Amino acid sequence: MLSKRILTIQDLSCVGRCSLTVALPVLSAYGMETCVLPTAVLSNHTAFDKWSCLDLTYEMKNILAAWQENGFLFDAFLTGYLGSAGVVDVVKTCFSDFSNESAEIIIDPAFGDNGRLYPAYDGEYVTAMADLIKSADIILPNLTEACFLAGIEYRSDTSPESAKEIVKRLAEYTPAAIVLTGMERAGEIGELIYSGGVFSEVWAEKLPRRFHGTGDLFAAAFAALYLQGSGLEKACASAGDFVAAGINETDSSCIYGVNFEYVLNSRVNGNRCFT
């Protein structure tokens, strides 16, 4: 059976489970032929006190030039933390020049949380991302990112019902299906899905601890499941189960991310299928 060739475009953090160090193994374990385009190399992710970053915008252009000569094309794209507005322009070129006819584009905006932008991001980046999501088939914003992209003030007490109005506003700026991640209600966490003008919801038990990188982990599992034929709701539910399983196996500091490796290892060695 031929596997789909997916290109994931995001940074490489040398320490801390996130971005490419999560996406590459998870997508591969789910049976995707996974290719990578690093946007930057970070000493560690930016939730640590100190970090360094090597921007790869220039080298990305060299990589794409070589790919053009080799005639590489991709069946799908998954973007995450891109690093700068300049990188967004390179990603647009990637979408236009390296897509198979039916290629699907999944964008995780990955620029903020809890009402704030991540370090190194500013309004220019939000504007660039707002333009990029016009090319997407699916976007995976959290509430913070949805508010920034829709031009709506963020409120930490936004209910799932109130969030629907934010999603509707965001849908005015992109044709993509919108999966609003990390929504919370009494004892539960889940996704609010808006596709074809219709809302649906997926909920699961909220676990007591929060970990860095869970959004990247969810996005990778979701992308693989969806591209292999799961509907939006099923892909969300199964990706959420995968993240929860990793959290339940994690004893280390939350800043280092989720022990997803244990979940992959146990399922592969136990011959359990990902669902």
Domains annotated on the chain, with CATH: 5-269 (3.40.1190.20)
d(CA 5, CA 200): 29
Global pTM reads 0.95
Alpha-carbon separation of residue 82 from 126, 127, 128, 168 (angstroms):
12, 14, 11, 25
Residue 235: pLDDT band (50, 70, 90) is very high
Provide the residue type at 39 as one letter.
T
Residue 1: pLDDT band (50, 70, 90) is low
Question: Is 9 in contact with 82 (CB distance < 8 Å)?
Answer: yes
Tell how many helices (H) and how many strands (E) occur in the chain.
Answer: 9, 11
CA-closest candidate to residue 79, choices 215, 260, 266, 270 = 215
pLDDT for residue 273? 45
pLDDT for residue 114 is more than 80: yes
d(CA 7, CA 24): 10
Structure tokens at 143: 């509430």
pLDDT for residue 210 is more than 90: no
d(CA 128, CA 135): 12
Arithmetic mean of pLDDT over the chain? 94
Question: Is 227 in contact with 32 (CB distance < 8 Å)?
Answer: yes
Question: Is 97 in contact with 68 (CB distance < 8 Å)?
Answer: yes
Give 21 or 269, the one with higher predicted confidence: 21
